[in-house]
């Protein structure tokens, strides 16, 4: 059987990347400053050191194109990496499309998603720096599960602030985190000053990633150095750690004898999309490839497609640094869609800069058509996708149908960033016809955008 006839494209352990790819080295747009939330001056390493170990801070500002992956991290990666790349032949047949659809399946990790790719190195660097405990937030629970797994491996305590609506929708994610030894709290909580202030205003607040971030940051910053904070998306070092996805996919597409015309990923904070897309963007920038890079978000939280490109706080309490990103306003609380990992008001700054400059495309899709695509994929390919990942599937199917309508072959690659085995409640609601579409809440976003910080910096020149 030739590679053109194969369905699964596997790499050996020897193909596991030895380095992460850092987009900062090739970023075709000027870097944006990261500002202190109080003074609005550029943040210093001392400010960041309250939350992060110095090695991660140095990765955040590094302009090195490649950064070596520690051997201790690679050894744990080998539990599940390299992950498989598959051709969705049965889905192609169901769609009757001339397009070739490939997907990189990150759901084979012990936590069921792409998130361990950064959780493991973050736990490693914290352990090496003498950290004893971490705090973090989680939406749907995939990040919390991954960090709980990693903290277990490195004997670190973990405190997880889980968005309340997801805490209620996905109880088994909490059980998984607790099995790995983490403490999990429904955010907003009574454990932090900010959580108490939110509950005083609205005792039934469903929570958001912005609120949970605020609580986790406060818990670390007020611990007198006893705890550090760990973030599962948005920051540069997080996106860099995820580049193992795209580096492997490049080798696997070579095994398939094809090269993608379009690479697709869902976006909430930007980590899984950047993980698969940035190595292909490097090939566009350095080798003249012309692959389209498509980020897909929910219409309920359309940061890229409907947000403004402005400086904003990374969290709701205005304690995280101010960064320039496409934002819906730090006080905006998205509707309680089942894709909890995408309920964030902003987006990774590097991704936003690239989108603003036209290097990346974005599309927003509603909840019900997204679940329709997820069900169609599951029935064809046998994998139940996470609701977040289903956004990428929706766009991949739409691309394949567009290719069919135009009568053209199109090579489509998407990141299936996690499985949906803990999301059966969402699928139960979908099958019962109980899901609804949430559109862009213009009035609420307008109110949230009125609260953006007033930052006076010159507009950067786009190169």
d(CA 148, CA 387): 21
* pLDDT for 339: 78
Whether residue 201 sits in one domain with residue 217: yes
Q: Is residue 460 part of a domain?
A: no
* pLDDT for 416: 98
Coil, helix or strand for 161? Answer: strand
Whether residue 295 sits in one domain with residue 392: yes
d(CA 141, CA 343): 12
Q: Are 261 and 411 in contact (CB under 8 A)?
A: yes
Q: Are 142 and 386 in contact (CB under 8 A)?
A: yes
Q: Is residue 462 part of a domain?
A: no
* pLDDT for 458: 55
Question: Which residue range is the domain that position 140 belongs to?
Answer: 21-68+115-235
Q: Is residue 428 part of a domain?
A: yes
Single pTM value for the model: 0.95
Q: Are 390 and 296 in contact (CB under 8 A)?
A: no
* pLDDT for 2: 55
Q: Is residue 463 part of a domain?
A: no
Whether residue 294 sits in one domain with residue 225: no
* pLDDT for 344: 87
Which residue is listed with tokens 């009125």?
450
Last residue of a domain, one of 235, 259, 290: 235
**DSSP for residue 432:** T
Number of domains into which the chain is organized: 2
Residues paired with residue 86 on neighbouring β-strands, in sequence order: 8, 103
- Which of 368, 408, 362 shows the shortest CA–CA distance to 390? 368
Whether residue 294 sits in one domain with residue 423: yes
CATH of the domain at 214: 3.40.50.1100
pLDDT along the chain (463 residues), means of 10: 80 97 95 91 91 96 97 98 98 98 98 97 98 94 96 98 91 95 97 96 91 94 95 95 98 98 97 98 97 97 95 90 95 83 90 97 97 98 97 98 97 98 94 93 88 76 43
Q: Is residue 459 part of a domain?
A: no
Whether residue 163 sits in one domain with residue 44: yes
Tell me how far the alpha carbon of residue 265 is from its chain's centroid. Answer: 9
Q: Is residue 457 part of a domain?
A: no
Q: Is residue 60 part of a domain?
A: yes
* pLDDT for 45: 87
Q: Is residue 154 part of a domain?
A: yes
Whether residue 377 sits in one domain with residue 246: yes
Whether residue 424 sits in one domain with residue 285: yes
CA dihedral 59, 62, 67, 70 (to 10 degrees): -30
The model's pLDDT over 433-442, given as tens digits with 9 standing for 90+, comes to 999 999 888 8
Whether residue 258 sits in one domain with residue 227: no
Burial of 295 (0-12, 13-18, 19+ CB in 10 A): buried
* pLDDT for 462: 44
Whether residue 340 sits in one domain with residue 203: no
Which residue is listed with tokens 């987006």?
347
Whether residue 286 sits in one domain with residue 200: no
Coil, helix or strand for 88? Answer: coil
Q: Which helix (H) or strand (E) holds 128?
A: helix 116-128
Last residue of a domain, one of 181, 214, 235: 235
d(CA 1, CA 185): 52
Whether residue 105 sits in one domain with residue 221: no
Whether residue 190 sits in one domain with residue 94: no
Neighbours of 454 (CB within 10 A): 6
Burial of 405 (0-12, 13-18, 19+ CB in 10 A): exposed
d(CA 75, CA 325): 35
Last residue of a domain, one of 235, 265, 287: 235
């Amino acid at each position: 059987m030739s590679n053109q006839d194969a369905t699964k494209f596997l790499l050996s352990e020897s193909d596991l990347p030895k380095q992460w790819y850092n987009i900062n080295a090739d970023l075709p747009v000027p870097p944006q400053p990261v500002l202190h939330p109080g003074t609005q001056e550029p943040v210093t390493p001392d400010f960041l050191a309250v939350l992060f170990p110095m090695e991660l801070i140095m990765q955040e500002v590094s302009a090195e194109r490649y950064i070596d992956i520690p051997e201790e991290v690679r050894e744990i990666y080998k539990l599940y990496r390299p992950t498989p790349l598959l051709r969705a032949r049965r889905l192609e047949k169901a769609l009757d499309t001339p397009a070739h659809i490939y997907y990189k399946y990150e759901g084979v990790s012990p936590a069921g998603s792409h998130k361990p790719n950064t959780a493991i190195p973050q736990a490693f660097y914290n352990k090496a720096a003498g950290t004893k405990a971490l705090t973090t937030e989680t939406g749907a629970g995939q990040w919390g599960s991954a960090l709980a797994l990693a903290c277990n491996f490195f004997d670190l305590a973990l405190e997880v602030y889980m968005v309340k609506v997801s805490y209620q929708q996905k109880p088994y994610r909490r059980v998984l985190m607790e099995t790995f030894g983490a403490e999990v709290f429904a955010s907003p909580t009574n454990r932090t000053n900010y959580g108490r202030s939110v509950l005083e205003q609205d005792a039934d607040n469903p929570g958001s990633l912005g609120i949970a971030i605020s609580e986790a940051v406060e818990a670390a910053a007020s611990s007198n150095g006893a705890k550090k904070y760990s973030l599962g998306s948005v920051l540069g070092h997080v996106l860099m750690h995820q580049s193992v996805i795209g580096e492997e996919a490049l080798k696997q597409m070579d095994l398939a004898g094809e090269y993608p015309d379009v690479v697709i990923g869902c976006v909430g904070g930007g980590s899984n999309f950047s993980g698969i897309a940035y190595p292909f963007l490097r090939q566009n920038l350095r080798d003249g490839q012309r692959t389209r890079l498509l980020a897909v978000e929910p219409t309920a939280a359309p940061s890229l497609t409907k947000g403004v490109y402005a400086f904003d706080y990374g969290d709701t309490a205005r304690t995280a640094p101010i960064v320039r990103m496409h934002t819906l306003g730090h006080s905006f609380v998205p509707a309680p869609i089942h894709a909890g990992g995408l309920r964030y008001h902003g987006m990774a700054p590097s991704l936003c800069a690239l989108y603003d400059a036209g290097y990346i495309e974005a599309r927003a899709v509603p909840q019900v058509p997204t679940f329709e695509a997820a069900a169609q994929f599951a029935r064809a390919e046998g994998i139940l996708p996470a609701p977040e990942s289903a956004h990428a599937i929706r766009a991949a199917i739409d691309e394949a149908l567009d290719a069919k309508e135009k009568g053209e072959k199109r090579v489509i690659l998407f990141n299936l960033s996690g499985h949906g085995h803990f999301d059966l409640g969402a699928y139960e609601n979908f099958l019962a016809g109980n899901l609804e579409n949430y559109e862009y809440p213009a009035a609420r976003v307008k109110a949230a955008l009125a609260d953006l910080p007033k930052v006076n910096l010159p507009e950067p020149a786009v190169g």
